Chains A and B, each alone.
Chain A
Amino acid sequence: MIKATKQKERPKPFLFPEFCKACGRCITACPKNCITFGDTINPKSGLMPVQIDMELCNGCGLCLSACPEPYGLMPQVDNHEPIDPKTLFGEKNSTASKAVRVPDEVLPLPDMNPLIIKGTYASAIGAALAGCRHFFGYPITPSTEGAELMAKILPELNGVFVQAVSEVATVNMMYGCGGAGMRCMTFTSSPGFSLMLEGISYMIGAEVPGVFVNVMRGGPGLGNIAPEQGDIKLACRGLGHGNTYAVVLAPSTPQEMLELTMLAFQLSFKYRHPVIILADGYLGQMTGKVNLPKEMVKPGLPDWAVFGDEAHRANLICSIELSEQDLEQHNLHLMEKYDRMISTEQRADCYFCDDAEIVLVATNTPSRMAKGAVEELRRAGIRVGLFRPISLWPFPIDAFEQSISEARKIVVVEAGNGQLEDEIRLAMSKAGIMNYLPIEHIQRYGGVLPSKQAIVDQILAKEVQQ
């Protein structure tokens, strides 16, 4: 009796010959020497599968554990006859059920006093209001205070703060957490952002959302910790390797740090795509009045996430497409997303542009200096306006075209060597704007911002000359 039962528990091996790679691992595993290298070529695999002498086999199962192929040696069930694998394995790929999207909930906020906080704090609070409960980051001045606030508030919200071993690890933690469908973010500054670019390319490829707040500082290299706008090219043109773009938002006040961070999460999940916020060191440190919004978000769970539960078991987060055809299709899919972003996510703020003969273009903190300059120059009777792109990518070219309709020249004010100017030129050229307005610039570098006075002086000097 006992023997019979035991026999039953020890089924003999069974092999579809076409799935045998003839490695011979089962041969050395078999204590009974039942298995030998074959001598006939299998027409399907072109290999010579092993042969098993069932007479000698005692069903010890050792060969089963030695076969590296999932559909190689398998236990024989009653009266197993070789049948067509298609019928045996069925058509269905996975038994996992289909995931359903759990939608976000919008919760109304009571009327609160405005907060008096610095830009990085405003951004962190914006993230919390957008439902972000997962933060990954590496300390780097001048962005760290945002991370510090997250380290303080997230544990109280049962959230997670992880100080990663590097920026490289940070972005990959975001890849995992965002891939699991959670709203996660980081604060970083220029050198750290450079390190994250590879990972951002992977996120774009694998369509993983996540929000990066880059509080830009002076470069190149270690540079300094003062404000610069030297990462516009990285964010708009250089998000790692491959055909990569992402929405790039540029706040100019602590209030916008909060609002644009909230928006960034919304867009990131809308498009299943990372979103970049470019702030500058000045703005990150600047304390100001920040009004709380009317609503906050309680996030749901997307259907595509690899969350680690039954509903999401069939999902895959991956940026590999091995065949050229597949990868081309995937690129076309991404480009379709970019087109949608370009047509719907342009944002800008125009200040006295309607009748402006001179249109200043500036973003982040320099746009505040420029705004001050506009006021002063207007008082001096010069028709100056300010065009402030809020989305640097996609560049708000439609609004820009309107704002320069009366202009005779454009003056780009930036803390950098023309990276914003390049975006304007490229956007104009792509949009076929051919009116060839002269483009001048007022630039400072290395952590120095163009001052209001410098803007006023330069414009006055030229106007008087004319």
Chain B
Amino acid sequence: MSTVFYQTFERHAHGAGLKGHATHYCAGCGHGLVQKYLAESIEELGVQDRTVAISPVGCAVFMYYYLDVGNTQAAHGRAPAVAIGHKMANPESIVISYQGDGDLASIGLAEIMQAAQMGLPMTVIFVNNAIYGMTGGQMAPTTLSGQVTATSPAGRTREMGQPLKMAELIAQLDGPVYVERVALYDNKQRTRAQRAILKAIRMQAEGRGFAFVEVLSECPTHLKATPEEAEQWVKEKMTPIFPLGVKKDLETEPWFAMKKPNHSVQKLMEVIGANKKKTPTFCQAFPEQIDSQDIALKLAGAGGDGAQTAAMLITRAAINEGFDATHIPSYGPESRGGTSFADVHIASEEVLSPASPTPHILVAFNAPSLMKFGPTVQPGGTILYDSTVISEVPNVQDDVQLYGIPFTQIAADLGKVLVKNIVALGALQAATDLMPKESLLTAIQQALANKCAMIPLNEAAFESGAEALCLEMDRRN
């Protein structure tokens, strides 16, 4: 007997009486054999300490009673997902996912497909006995056509589907390197099964890939047969539908290697983009000409107008200046070309309400935005809009300053329509003196730190926006 079995099955009814050394399986059940071969293979390969066995839900749910390895018991069908978790946690562990047909081929189809398709080195043992054992002999996805079960009392009909051939299905995928279907009904098949299980674990231990062994197994209890009759049934009835043999066996070199997680402070700071560089500040005081403690802005346009980026730059500049600031995008449609608006708040102490239902400042990049949000701007507020595309202006509240600046035209003249949002920022700065222009330019430079070539164009766009606004003001005076 293999040393990979516990010396006493403490977890089986606290190891009392015969249960301390006997399995819970019915007489002649294939599960006992498969687990014996597993234990022997683990022993032969010398991987007992590294092995994590995942017990499924089904008759094999208590596999952890027997195998003296690291054990995890999984929810119904999810063993392959649990196995992925284990393999990722410790790539050196030998992870064996053990499942029956209800577990793997019905409720857990998605999980086994993903695990196989990912192709991480792990071993899946799939015990197919064409029936639900634990719940009492109901139809399984692998139940044969015509087979009588508790839920197909007149035999499985065509409407109930045809038996699912998992080994063939799994072999179709690119992830697995080794797929074989074996059986247990005679000495020859048992030897093949032993070899297949050994190989499937070895493939993993050598880092070669995902290995899947389907074992046609006997459930004498629900076949209502003696073990010997059950062996004959598997041989005569199952194997024509589920042909035995190797379905896939790739010559692969060991490829799987993962580094140990990095917990260095320096690396983490680098990765999250944290730095110590002092950002210069330019503000003398909070822009109280707009509000004494909390300024609300709204930037709105079509997706792609750059409203979010402009909002982000204002937020960054304000935080650089030591104020509190928030930016909330109207998410969703923005990435799909619909309208997009951003709410920005700048507060001397703390932003309390981050939404801007009644902003002090509105920047509108298209007509619908101006129509919708123009009337919400507070009395005494400021609206800037793109006069290249907007000709009609809504009624606004008292003392609201409206400036139509051709953002798009100016940007196009500079050679890149995309910078219209920066043109708008320049105009915004000139119109409201929200922050010194150096604050906003610094934020632009920081945002373009990885695309330095873009900085001059953006600076030019900012200046042009500011100039256009000054011209407009001069015209009015």
A residues near B (Cβ < 8 Å) are: 16, 18-19, 21-25, 27-29, 31, 44-45, 47, 62, 65-71, 74, 85, 89-96, 107-116, 125, 128-129, 131, 133-134, 136, 141-142, 153, 156-160, 162, 164-166, 168-170, 172-182, 184, 198-199, 202, 206, 225, 281-282, 285-289, 292, 296, 298-299, 306-310, 312-313, 315-320, 323, 365, 368-369, 371-372, 375, 449, 451-453
Contact = CB atoms under 8 A, between A and B. Distances in A.
Given A116-B316, A172-B85, A365 B113 contact: no
Interface of B: 1-3, 5-8, 10-11, 13, 15, 18, 20-23, 25-33, 35-36, 39, 48-52, 54-55, 61-62, 64, 66, 68-75, 78, 81-86, 88-90, 92-95, 110-111, 113-114, 186-187, 190-191, 194, 220, 226-228, 231, 258-263, 265, 267-269, 271-279, 312, 315-316, 319, 324-329, 331-332, 351-355, 357-358
Contacts of A111: 276
A456 to B, nearest CB: 10
B23 A310 contact: no
B271 to A, nearest CB: 5
A159 B83 CA distance: 17
Contacts of A319: 73
Contacts of B61: 320
B82 A308 contact: no
Contacts of A165: 81, 110-111, 113-114
Nearest to A225: B332
Given A23-B28, A153-B271, A173-B82, A93 B259 contact: no
The 7 A-B pairs at the shortest CB distance, nearest first, are namely A308-B93, A176-B85, A68-B32, A180-B89, A23-B28, A372-B352, A177-B85
B6 A113 contact: no
A307 B93 CA distance: 7
Contacts of B22: 19, 21, 45, 69, 71
Per DSSP, are chain B's interface residues mostly helix, strand or loop, or mixed?
Answer: mixed
Contact of A320 (B2, B73, B82, B279): B73
A368 B28 contact: no
Contacts of B66: 70
B328 A70 contact: no
B331 A65 contact: no
Contact of B354 (A68, A282, A323): A282
Nearest to B76: A198
B353 A452 contact: yes
A113 B354 contact: no
Contact of B1 (A74, A114, A306, A307): A74
Given A68-B30, A69-B22, A93-B7, A107 B68 contact: no
A317 B85 contact: no
Given A159-B262, A289-B319, A323-B13, 13 more contacts: A24-B28, A25-B227, A28-B186, A74-B1, A94-B68, A113-B278, A128-B272, A158-B262, A168-B110, A308-B50, A318-B72, A369-B355, A451-B355
Contacts of B352: 368-369, 371-372, 375, 452
B48 to A, nearest CB: 7
B88 A177 contact: yes
A318 to B, nearest CB: 4
A113 B268 contact: no
A65 B275 contact: no
Contacts of B231: 25, 28
19 contacts: A25-B28, A66-B33, A70-B2, A71-B22, A74-B1, A90-B7, A115-B273, A116-B315, A160-B88, A162-B84, A168-B110, A173-B82, A176-B54, A176-B85, A287-B312, A287-B328, A315-B71, A320-B62, A368-B354
Contacts of A317: 71-73
Contact of A286 (B73, B95, B328): B328
A70 B391 CA distance: 86
Given A116-B316, A308-B95, A24 B227 contact: yes
A178 B64 CA distance: 18
B207 to A, nearest CB: 14
B1 A68 contact: no
A308 B354 contact: no
Nearest to A16: B21
Given A65-B194, A113-B276, A313-B49, A89 B187 contact: no
A169 B78 contact: yes
B82 to A, nearest CB: 4
A158 B228 contact: no
A173 B263 CA distance: 22
B282 to A, nearest CB: 16
Contact of B49 (A91, A131, A287, A310): A310
Contact of A44 (B18, B26, B273): B18
Given A169-B114, A282-B328, A288-B325, A109 B265 contact: yes
Nearest to B187: A62
A391 B161 CA distance: 50
B459 to A, nearest CB: 21
B90 A308 contact: yes
A392 B21 CA distance: 48
Nearest to B260: A158
Contact of B268 (A129, A173, A184): A129
Given A93-B8, A95-B68, A368-B354, A164 B81 contact: yes
Contacts of A286: 326-328, 354
Contacts of A287: 312, 315, 326-328
B325 to A, nearest CB: 7
A179 B86 contact: yes
